């Protein structure tokens, strides 16, 4: 599919994005573009990482929030702004409001990670915890806006937000003028839409590929239907792209300008996050790692040079621990097994000796002796092991079975 700049007539134009870039000068960082030798070898062409995880507040969200709030009329600024978010948008609105001298109230779910709540407060917003899920939080924020006159700042469904996010696209073309493919995660669609407007206007030959998590992929059915379609109960570790319905404004732009939308699994997301940490030395949240997950899932499908947008790095440490463990398991580097043995002195030492022979590193041992499922002389052991890959996992399992240990999980 090809595009001409003449077709780029819509709610957001290249001039809007360029205006946003001027507005953001000295506010948002021009984030680094880092090459990835490992991904380049996999893809067979240069791969660059656009590090929005190193942006102020830890994600691209500051760009759109600042442009939206800066465009408010004086009387609107005086009324303050309100937003609803579990993390990145909350922090972007809080900092943008503080920089512009505008009061902000941010509604966050009661279960939002404490570091994100604390950061949002530190950036100057009044935080109100409401609801268990973002939909409940969103309803509370909208009710607050109607009651108080505060301006509701939507995370993605507004032309000013999209224009601000589109400045990432201008930076990509400046930093990597030879780019052939841009890969970007999609939640509601604001970032992908903004990048597509900027890039397609200047380089219509560049391919734009959007990436969604399989459990929260609202764009494929929406594009097929020709209108935004809601996905019930979106589920993914990538909360930054965990959006049940595309935004009306970005949906039209994505449908016209984004060449392809792919989906990635939870295993692929966790593996990508682990790769960013180990190989690129970058802390990236699951949503930010989604473009890397797409490259890993089918490296031969992308024409290079490729730019993968790492959209954010705000990951809760508890989630990070679980995701890294999940990623290691997906790569065959972490193995959890449960087995039964005879409850007698030295039995556990004998079991550990079997694991020592096959060079499996024991990270954790849980030893259960009292359980209704166990026989009088039985004990159950759960082992967490560090392994060296899928083949080593198979070798460990074989060694346990040959030693007479029935593996039950």
**Catalytic site positions:** 61, 311
Of all helices (H) and strands (E), which one includes residue 324?
Answer: helix 317-330
| Tokens at 220, concatenated | 């494929």
The span from the CA of 74 to the CA of 408, in Å, is: 66
Question: CB of 242 within 8 A of CB of 218?
Answer: no
Query: For the CA atoms of 108, 109, 111, 113, what is the dihedral angle to 10 degrees?
Result: -20
Question: CB of 113 within 8 A of CB of 316?
Answer: yes
Q: Which regions of 277-377 does DSSP assign to beta strands (E)?
A: 306-310, 334-342, 361-368
The span from the CA of 271 to the CA of 277, in Å, is: 10
Three-state DSSP at 362 gives strand
The span from the CA of 287 to the CA of 397, in Å, is: 34
Q: Report the DSSP pairing between strands 378-386 and 334-342.
A: antiparallel
Beta partners for residue 34, in sequence order:
49
Helix segments in 26-152, DSSP class H: 37-43, 61-70, 74-79, 88-100, 114-122, 134-148
Three-state DSSP at 33 gives strand
First to last CA, the chain: 49
| Tokens at 4, concatenated | 């001409």
| Tokens at 167, concatenated | 């400045």
The span from the CA of 251 to the CA of 157, in Å, is: 9
Burial class (CB in 10 A: 0-12, 13-18, 19+), 393: buried
19 CA to centre of own chain: 27
As a residue count, the chain comes to 409
The span from the CA of 104 to the CA of 65, in Å, is: 12
The span from the CA of 295 to the CA of 308, in Å, is: 9
| Tokens at 36, concatenated | 């990835």
């Amino acid at each position: 599919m090809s595009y001409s700049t003449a077709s780029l007539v819509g709610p957001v134009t290249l001039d809007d994005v360029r205006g946003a870039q001027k507005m953001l000068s000295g506010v948002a960082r021009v984030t680094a573009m880092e090459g990835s030798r490992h991904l380049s070898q996999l893809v067979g062409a240069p791969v660059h990482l656009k590090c929005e995880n190193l942006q102020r507040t830890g994600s691209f969200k500051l760009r759109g929030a600042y442009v939206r709030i800066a465009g408010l009329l004086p009387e609107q600024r005086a009324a303050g702004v309100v937003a609803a978010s579990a993390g990145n948008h909350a922090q972007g609105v809080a900092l943008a409001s503080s920089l512009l001298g505008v009061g902000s109230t941010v509604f966050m779910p009661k279960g939002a990670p404490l570091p994100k709540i604390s950061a949002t407060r530190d950036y100057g917003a009044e935080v109100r915890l409401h609801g268990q899920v973002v939909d409940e939080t969103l309803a509370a924020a909208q009710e607050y806006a109607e009651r108080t006159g505060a301006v509701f700042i939507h995370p993605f469904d507004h032309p000013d937000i999209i224009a601000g996010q589109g400045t990432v696209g201008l930076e990509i073309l400046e930093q990597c003028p030879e780019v052939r493919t841009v890969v970007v995660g999609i939640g509601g669609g604001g970032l992908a839409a903004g990048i597509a407007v900027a890039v397609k206007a200047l380089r219509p030959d560049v391919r734009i590929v959007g990436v969604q998590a399989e459990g929260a992929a609202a764009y494929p059915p929406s594009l097929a239907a020709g209108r935004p379609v809601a996905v019930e109960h979106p589920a993914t570790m990538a909360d930054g792209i965990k959006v049940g319905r595309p935004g009306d404004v970005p949906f039209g732009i994505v449908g016209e300008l984004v060449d392809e939308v792919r989906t990635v699994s939870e295993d692929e997301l966790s593996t990508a996050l682990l790769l960013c940490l180990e190989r690129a030395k970058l802390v990236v949240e699951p949503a930010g790692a989604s473009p890397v997950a797409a490259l890993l899932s089918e490296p031969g499908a992308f024409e290079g040079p490729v730019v993968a947008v790492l959209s954010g790095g705000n990951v809760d440490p508890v989630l990070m621990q679980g995701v890294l463990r999940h990623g290691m398991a997906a790569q065959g580097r972490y193995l959890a097994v449960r087995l039964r043995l005879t409850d007698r002195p030295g039995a556990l030492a004998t079991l550990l000796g079997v694991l020592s022979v096959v060079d499996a590193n024991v990270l954790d041992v849980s030893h259960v002796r009292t359980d209704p499922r166990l026989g009088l002389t039985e004990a159950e052991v759960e082992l967490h092991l560090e392994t060296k890959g899928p083949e080593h996992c198979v070798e460990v399992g074989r060694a346990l079975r040959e030693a007479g240990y029935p593996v039950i999980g």
